[in-house]
Chains A and B, each alone.
Chain A
Amino acid sequence: MSTIRLRSPAAFWLALPAGLWMALAVVLPVLLIVWVSLWGGTSVSPNNPITFDNYQRFLSNQNYLWLIGDTLVQTAMIMAITGVLGYCIAYFLTVKVASPGWRVALFLAFVIPFWTSTLIRAIAFVPFLGVNGLLNQALMAIGLIERPIQAFLYSRLGISMAQVSLYTLLASGPVVYMLNSIPPALREAAMTLKAPPIIVFWRIILPLTLPGIVIGQVLVFLNVLADFITVTTVGGNKLAFLGNLILLFYEGSQIRATAVVSVLLMLLMLAGVTLALRVVDIRKIGG
């Protein structure tokens, strides 16, 4: 008994607006992309014949295949870095910081930037990484380098640094959640069963946080794969990943090519998420 009856029509009607909204604004558009990617002809009209020509044309271009591969390599690299970094930070914040005050303060310092605009944060990397930027100044000040490093900005290095900064929280957040849900007694039980800390970590903590790691990796995967903002801001349009290609085709009014790349992006994402679900059952989280 609550303010809503089980299986009542009222529940259905309450659910309807949000469901319709999502169907109209997300599901239908995504299906349309698939359809458009199969259009023959040249006009924008529902009467175009269905064909796989667009895919054939796109996939026969060696450069585009390279770009897909390149995007995947970049994504895998960022996943690896944010994964390790995010786990270390999550472990430190939840397990190692003893004082609750410090934990909250550090956690806020970690999370607050996430509440601000990604675009602004990406732009902020330009003066940070530039020739006279803070990073070069700092490195020169501590004597690590003699001359400013040009290659920070408008390079893959710069893009990667910005992406790591932007997406580590995504990798870390679910791990924090999982670590918090492990009762301290489990760790202690393992220790009284003769397991030294490193074994406790491998046999108890790591397996129990695995769902968090996987979810974090999925989030980073989805975001880096479709990322184009960091590339345009920090990369200065010198480099392109899949997301940039979509934008490029769209701005060139090549709607079919845009759709093709979009569908490929979607497929990659689907493949990634399916793979992740095989590793771990997301529905089990919290159970």
Chain B
Amino acid sequence: MHWKTRSRLTGWLLGTVTIGFLLFQWAPMFTMFTLSFSGENGGTTFPMNGVSLHWYRNLWEADLFDDFKPPMLRSFLLALACSATTVVLSVCAAQAMRGRFRGNGLYFYLLLLGLMAPGILVGFGFAILTRLLGIEGAWNTTAYVVHVSWALPFGFLTMLAVFNRFDPKLEEAALTLGATRLTAFRRITWPLILPGVIGTALFGFSLSYDEYARTLFTSGSDGTLPLAVMAQLDRQLTPELYAIGTATTAMSLIVISLCAIGFWLRARALRGSPT
């Protein structure tokens, strides 16, 4: 037996483990996807009793009590705001890190802290803070602040990595050609870091949109979608929850693939074709 054959055997073994895990990882999601299309008399488990869009229609036409539309709208707006804020703050912070201001080492750990601190602690602590200050929590004020603090470290690290790969000679070239720092940033730096910025925006959006623990403590009476989902789960698990899960998952997959295609097209355009 050639030694590479034996190495291929371990490959097959590890491959089986990997494929097994991937199946295990995807199977629950596929169960949920499938069951979200079950018939009107279908329940939260098999059999499906037919195939229909009944549960999606239910979602759309829901009455006041289990209406997921307002929380979904709130989640969406909150995620947009969080995404925009995260982009601005992390680009500024990463650009500042390049300036190596005094205390930048400590600053790095300060921003990383948000990554390590579990949501349940941050949420609870922030709830205490607002209570002591006498502020009423709301999804678009307190929850917004906490959501940004969650997405910011991810955005910051992404932008740091982007700036690390960035060749400062390009900026130097622009500066020697007579551009001011601001112009050089706007005309040279910004277009080059744009893919990273888009990545940061995506992070900001999806981290906020999916966040549960931090929101639970800080959103006040009007909750976001994950809170509504959890509340419904507490009352009763219904196929509508599957429909929501399927819809949001599909949404994020579509957004991710659109961005991936965008990056790919950009990379191809940059490589350029001779024609």
Q: Chain A residues in contact with chain B, CB under 8 A?
A: 1-8, 10-15, 17-19, 21-33, 36, 44, 46, 85, 88-89, 91-93, 96-97, 106, 109-110, 112-113, 115-121, 123-135, 137, 161-162, 165, 168, 197, 222-223, 225-226, 228-229, 232-233, 243, 246-247, 250, 255, 258-259, 262, 265-266, 269, 273
List, sorted by A's number, 22 A–B pairs whose CB atoms are closer than 8 Å.
Answer: A4-B99, A6-B100, A11-B101, A17-B92, A26-B117, A29-B126, A30-B125, A32-B132, A96-B14, A116-B252, A123-B229, A123-B233, A124-B28, A124-B31, A125-B28, A127-B242, A128-B32, A129-B28, A132-B46, A134-B27, A161-B24, A255-B128
Question: B182 to chain A: which residues have CB within 8 Å?
Answer: 3
Given contacts A92-B14, A121-B28, are A14 and B93 in contact (CB under 8 A)? Answer: yes
Q: Does the CB pair A124–B116 fall under 8 Å?
A: no
Q: Does the CB pair B10–A229 fall under 8 Å?
A: no
Q: Which 7 A-B residue pairings sit nearest by Cβ, starting from the closest?
A: A29-B125, A11-B99, A226-B118, A25-B149, A15-B96, A128-B28, A14-B96
Given contacts A89-B17, A226-B119, A229-B213, are A119 and B226 in contact (CB under 8 A)? Answer: yes
Roughly how many angstroms separate A8 CA and B245 CA in the complex, as a whole number? Answer: 48
Question: A243 to chain B: which residues have CB within 8 Å?
Answer: 118, 120
Given contacts A8-B99, A22-B152, are A127 and B29 in contact (CB under 8 A)? Answer: no
Shortest C-beta distance, A96 to chain B (Å), equals 4
Roughly how many angstroms separate A258 CA and B125 CA in the complex, as a whole number? Answer: 10
Contact of A92 among B17, B35, B102 (CB under 8 A): B17
Residue of B nearest to A161 (CB): B24
Chain B positions 2-55 with a Cβ under 8 Å from a chain A Cβ: 3, 6-7, 10-11, 14-15, 17-18, 21-22, 24-32, 35, 44-47
Given contacts A3-B189, A24-B145, A85-B17, are A128 and B31 in contact (CB under 8 A)? Answer: yes
Confirm or deny: B62 has a beta carbon within 8 angstroms of a beta carbon on chain A. Answer: no
Confirm or deny: B175 has a beta carbon within 8 angstroms of a beta carbon on chain A. Answer: yes
Number of interface residues of B (CB under 8 A): 96
Chain A at the B interface: SS class: helix
Shortest C-beta distance, B157 to chain A (Å), equals 12
Among A11, A113, A228, find the residue whose CB has the most chain B CB atoms closer than 10 A: A11
Q: Does the CB pair B212–A132 fall under 8 Å?
A: no
Roughly how many angstroms separate A106 CA and B25 CA in the complex, as a whole number? Answer: 12
Contact of A27 among B11, B113, B244 (CB under 8 A): B113
Given contacts A46-B132, A96-B10, are A18 and B212 in contact (CB under 8 A)? Answer: no
**Residue interface bits B52-64, CB-to-A below 8 A is 1, else 0:** 0000000000000
Shortest C-beta distance, B246 to chain A (Å), equals 9
Confirm or deny: B146 has a beta carbon within 8 angstroms of a beta carbon on chain A. Answer: yes
Roughly how many angstroms separate A243 CA and B216 CA in the complex, as a whole number? Answer: 13
Q: Does the CB pair B242–A121 fall under 8 Å?
A: no
Shortest C-beta distance, B43 to chain A (Å), equals 9
Shortest C-beta distance, B242 to chain A (Å), equals 7
Question: A129 to chain B: which residues have CB within 8 Å?
Answer: 28
Contact of B152 among A18, A123, A168, A255 (CB under 8 A): A18
Q: Does the CB pair B95–A4 fall under 8 Å?
A: yes
Question: A128 to chain B: which residues have CB within 8 Å?
Answer: 27-28, 31-32
Question: A19 to chain B: which residues have CB within 8 Å?
Answer: 93, 107, 110-111
Question: A6 to chain B: which residues have CB within 8 Å?
Answer: 99-100
Roughly how many angstroms separate A137 CA and B18 CA in the complex, as a whole number? Answer: 22
Q: Does the CB pair B168–A2 fall under 8 Å?
A: yes
Roughly how many angstroms separate A131 CA and B43 CA in the complex, as a whole number? Answer: 13
Q: Does the CB pair A22–B110 fall under 8 Å?
A: yes
Question: B185 to chain A: which residues have CB within 8 Å?
Answer: 3
Residue of A nearest to B8 (CB): A96
Shortest C-beta distance, A88 to chain B (Å), equals 5
Shortest C-beta distance, A139 to chain B (Å), equals 12
Beyond the given A22-B111, A120-B248, could you list 7 further A-B residue pairs with CB under 8 A, ordered by the A residue number? Answer: A7-B99, A19-B111, A92-B18, A127-B45, A134-B46, A135-B27, A250-B124
Shortest C-beta distance, B220 to chain A (Å), equals 15
Contact of B249 among A26, A32, A93, A117 (CB under 8 A): A117
Question: B113 to chain A: which residues have CB within 8 Å?
Answer: 22, 26-27
Given contacts A93-B18, A127-B35, are A118 and B100 in contact (CB under 8 A)? Answer: no
Given contacts A124-B28, A127-B242, are A33 and B256 in contact (CB under 8 A)? Answer: no
Roughly how many angstroms separate A106 CA and B11 CA in the complex, as a whole number? Answer: 14
Q: Does the CB pair A119–B229 fall under 8 Å?
A: yes
Residue of B nearest to A251 (CB): B216
**Residue interface bits B113-135, CB-to-A below 8 A is 1, else 0:** 11011111110111111011000
Question: B10 to chain A: which residues have CB within 8 Å?
Answer: 96
Question: A91 to chain B: which residues have CB within 8 Å?
Answer: 14
